[in-house]
Amino acid sequence: MLENPTLKNITDPNFGRPPEHQNELLQRLGEHHITSFNYMIRKGLSQAIDNLNPVEFVLSERRIKLKISNYTFNSPEVPFGTIGVRNNLIYPTECRQRAATYKGKLYVDVDW
């Protein structure tokens, strides 16, 4: 415990400004999470949908086949009606602060 605490750090004009060169290890700490998420959005989801087999069944003597033909994944947004929101975009840090999930809507076209 400090015997003579000071506030010299917060009175420094550079307080709160990130240094020009960040610690490389800290910068790479969450890189694998970001890389994995970006892969899922850019390629993985498309590959998963392409690998789905069509569902076939009989209904009232008619054979029906369902297949996902297209999808759209919307970026995560602040919930509609949130007070004080100027921009609907939301980022993972804000989701952690709000105790919310970083989720977006997934729309699919189903051919039959």
pLDDT tens digits for range 46-57? 999 999 999 999
pLDDT at 8 over 90: no
As a whole number, mean pLDDT of residues 98-110 equals 89
Torsion angle defined by CA atoms of residues 78, 83, 85 and 89, in that order, rounded to the nearest 10 degrees: 0
- How is residue 68 written in tokens? 């996902």
- 60 and 40 part of one domain: no
| pTM more than 0.75 | no
- 104 and 83 part of one domain: yes
- 67 and 89 part of one domain: yes
Q: What is the pLDDT of residues 62-97, one digit of tens each?
A: 999 999 988 998 888 887 778 888 888 888 888 888
The three-class DSSP label of residue 57 is: strand
- 110 and 67 part of one domain: yes
